[in-house]
A and B are shown apart, each in its own frame.
Chain A
Amino acid sequence: MLIKHKLLILLTLLMFLPNNCIVEYTPLTHEEAELLNVEGLITDQPGVNIIKLSKSISIWNKQVAKPLKQCIVTISDDLGQIYNLIETNNGNYITNPTTFQGVAGRKYTLHIKTTSDPVNYSYSSFPVEMKPVPPIDNIYYEKKTYHDQLPAVEGCQVYLDTQDPSNNCKFFRWEYSETWEIRLPYNVKNRVCWVSNNSNDIFIKNTSVLGEARIIRYPVISISNPIDKLSIKYSILVSQFSLNEDEYLYWERLKNSLEQVGGLYDQVPASIPNNIFCVEDPNRNVLGYFSVSAKTSRRLFIKDSFAGYDHQYENCITDTITGNVIIDTLKGINSFIWMIVDSSDKVPPRRYLTRKRDCGDCMARGTNIKPDFWSDDKK
């Protein structure tokens, strides 16, 4: 073989050398990743208000959030009153319910002083006015058919109406907390339970662009898995908070940054301007927001019949036992295996069991303690 040919073969083989197009890369950022994060909401409701202080954690670590303990936290209002907050646990600081209750129309300022850092800073919020909130006029549901499952199921959409004729409250935020009753179709010890879920999305609305401060048919939640939630009885408690414009813009930016899908026209990542600053070093970034809102709530119960095929408990039976066995002596009974159908009176005698905790024990998903509001609708 000529040199020429050998060279050509060598060059061709070089092309197939393995190489990694994508490698892991940890950038060197010589920047402090531990910033103060304030999660605080004070309302006009009686009871405690909680301000939660923590430190942000470096993005490369799998740590959990670090609560910031031993801080001195106070709230002052525009009448010169100062309220001290008491630390309970894990970076939670609470107001004293006997001395503090927020009042709409007042301006509140939050003050924080850290004591456990190498360098201790004081932080303050801008004075935030508690805007009054109108009551929720109406909360109701409308049946709706969902075609994303086959066969189609009938669920419902929950709406609310509210309005502020005085036009004092132009910015709204909502949270909800839902509870529903489930009943297993088997005669087991934990048969009836109540499952709960809290909202973790951002629900906000700005009525300053509308002619009047009036919201009609605001969609709160779409219940598209009605088989589970709406079979027995369902309840949702919607809380409505008033916001001032600065806080509304904060939530709006937060919502936009969360709903990005990674396209070309997304919001460029940047820190979201908030209402807390460091007194000694104004360039030091502070995360979170000091929320001051008046709050009102309203509860809706749904006890209705919805069309749809219930196949939730179709594949529960996993084991069958024949003959005379004392069920209580079975290994793992009621901890990882449950008897759901007892046909020991039939011929031949048999019992059906399940290894799925969702089928044999409703406490896998909820609690067997009835919530104290459950009979409020008298149904």
Chain B
Amino acid sequence: MVWNWLLKRQMEKTLYSISYTFSRTLLKSISGFRDEIINSGNWYPANFDKPDNLVITFQYLYSRRLSFSADYTYSTGRPITYPIATYSAGTIKLMYYSDRNKYRIPDYSRLDVSFKISGNLRSDKIANPNLTFSVYNLLGKENAYSIYFKKVGEVVKGYKLSVFGRAIPTVTFNFDF
């Protein structure tokens, strides 16, 4: 099931668009065999189920040569199955897990900004250079790439891995010709 909504406005110096998508992917597993029944036969989210997906872009042209743009992405975290308890069967130690995909990892949110400075854009030039200063993930949000669990000594500890866990400034030099 998908529901899409897009708003785009272009004015004299600014251009912005807001896009929101609501989509759900749910699974259900029932069977005559007891160990093929997942979550007691109820609907549960698929591994890639992302209900909310929001993208906002904004562009401001200060002049022909200088422009500023920002865009913001937000999506709901992916589903995950957590271990929640340990128990033993004789000498064997076992882990008990929650229902499949019952929980979600933290939501994904990211803001990027950039400035673009163009050369003098004279029409008789062979190539037009421009320089872009941008910051990826300006808010420095440590978005979770993966959440995993490891046994450390006697306890199980959870860890969150973030790939771009802070603001990353970039400088790009381009030629248009």
Q: Are B161 and A287 in contact (CB under 8 A)?
A: no
B85 close to A (CB within 8 Å): yes
Query: How many angstroms between the C-alpha atoms of A65 and B159 in the bound complex?
Result: 24
Residues 112-147 of chain B: 1 if any A CB is under 8 Å from the residue's CB, otherwise 0?
000000000000000000000100000000101001
- Nearest to A250 among chain B residues (CB) is B35
Contact with B along A254-276 (1 / 0, CB 8 A): 10011000000000111111000
Is A57 engaged at the interface, CB distance under 8 Å to the other chain? yes
- Does B92 interact with chain A (Cβ within 8 Å)? yes
Residue in B90, B92, B163 whose beta carbon sits within 8 Å of that of A21 in the complex: B163
- Of the candidates B86, B165, B166, which one forms a contact with A59 in the assembled complex, judged by CB atoms under 8 Å apart? B86
Verify B35–A33 contact, CB threshold 8 A: no
CB of B90 within 8 A of CB of A39, answer yes
Given the known interface contacts A27-B82, A27-B103, A287-B87, the answer about A61 and B168 at a Cβ–Cβ threshold of 8 Å is no
Report Cα–Cα, A254/B156, bound state, in Å: 19
B42 to chain A minimum Cβ distance, whole angstroms, is 10
Tell yes or no: A60 within 8 A of B by CB: yes
Beta-carbon contact of A269 and B95 below 8 Å: yes
Most buried by A among B37, B83, B85, B142: B85
Q: How far is the CA of A200 from the CA of B147 in the complex (A)?
A: 31
CA distance A45 to B84 in the complex (A): 37
- Determine whether the beta carbon of A27 is less than 8 Å from that of B158: yes
Return the CB mask of B79-97 against A: 1 if under 8 Å, else 0: 0111111111111101111
Interface residue A26 (Cβ < 8 Å from any Cβ of B): yes
Q: A15-B168, A59-B83 are in contact. Are A37 and B88 (CB under 8 A)?
A: yes
Whether the pair B87, A19 counts as a contact (CB closer than 8 A) is no
Contact A21 B162 (CB under 8 A): yes
Contact yes or no, A61 B158, CB < 8 A? no
A25 touches B89 (CB 8 A): no
Once the chains bind, are B35 and A273 in contact (CB under 8 Å)? Answer: yes
Nearest residue in B to A59 (C-beta to C-beta)? B156
Give the number of chain A interface residues (Cβ < 8 Å). Answer: 50
Q: B168 contacts which chain A residues (CB < 8 A)?
A: 15
* In contact, A25 and B159 (Cβ under 8 angstroms): yes
**Contact (Cβ within 8 A) A23 B159:** yes
Query: Is the pair A249, B160 in contact by a Cβ cutoff of 8 Å?
Result: no
Please, how many angstroms separate the alpha-carbon atoms of A271 and B39 in the complex? 9
Complexed CA–CA distance, A15 and B168 (Å): 7
Tell me the bound Cα distance from A27 to B80 in angstroms. Answer: 11
B96 touches A287 (CB 8 A): yes
- Asked if A268 and B100 make an inter-chain contact with CB atoms under 8 angstroms apart, the answer reads yes
Residue from B97, B133, B156 in contact with A271 in the complex, judged by beta carbons closer than 8 Å: B97
**Do A288 and B85 contact each other (CB < 8 Å), given the known contacts A21-B165, A253-B35?**
no
Which residues from chain A contact B167 at a C-beta distance below 8 Å? 14
- Bitwise, A312-325 to B at CB < 8 A (1) or not (0) is 00000000000000
Residues of the A chain whose Cβ atoms lie less than 8 Å from the Cβ of B98: 29, 31
A56 and B89 alpha carbons, distance in the complex (Å): 11
Asked if A225 lies at the interface with its beta carbon under 8 angstroms from chain B, I say no
Judging by beta carbons under 8 Å apart, are B158 and A37 in contact? no
Closest to B104 in A: A27
Known contacts A19-B166, A24-B159, A57 near B86 by CB under 8 Å: yes
Interface contact B85-A57, CB-CB below 8 Å? yes
Is A149 positioned at the interface, with any CB of B under 8 Å from its CB? no
Expressed in whole angstroms, the Cα–Cα distance for A39 and B92 within the complex equals: 11
Q: How far is the CA of A33 from the CA of B37 in the complex (A)?
A: 22
Q: Is B154 an interface residue (CB 8 A)?
A: yes
Are A11's CB and B169's CB within 8 A? yes
- Distance in Å from the Cβ of B83 to the closest Cβ of chain A? 5
- CB pair B85–A56 under 8 Å, yes or no, is yes
Contact check, A198 vs B92: say whether CB atoms are below 8 A apart: no
In the complex, what distance in Å separates the CA atom of A307 from the CA atom of B17?
A: 80
Q: Which residues of B contact A34 (CB under 8 A)?
A: 85
- The one of B38, B88, B133, B162 in contact with A11, judged by C-beta atoms closer than 8 angstroms, is B133
- Contact present for A62 and B103 (CB under 8 Å): no
With A59-B83, A285-B96 given, name 18 new contacts (CB 8 A). A11-B169, A14-B167, A15-B168, A22-B160, A22-B161, A23-B142, A25-B159, A27-B158, A31-B84, A39-B90, A61-B155, A62-B155, A65-B87, A258-B92, A268-B81, A272-B35, A273-B34, A273-B35
14 A-B residue pairings within 8 Å (CB atoms): A14-B167, A21-B162, A23-B142, A23-B162, A24-B157, A24-B160, A25-B158, A25-B159, A26-B158, A27-B147, A29-B98, A59-B86, A200-B92, A257-B94
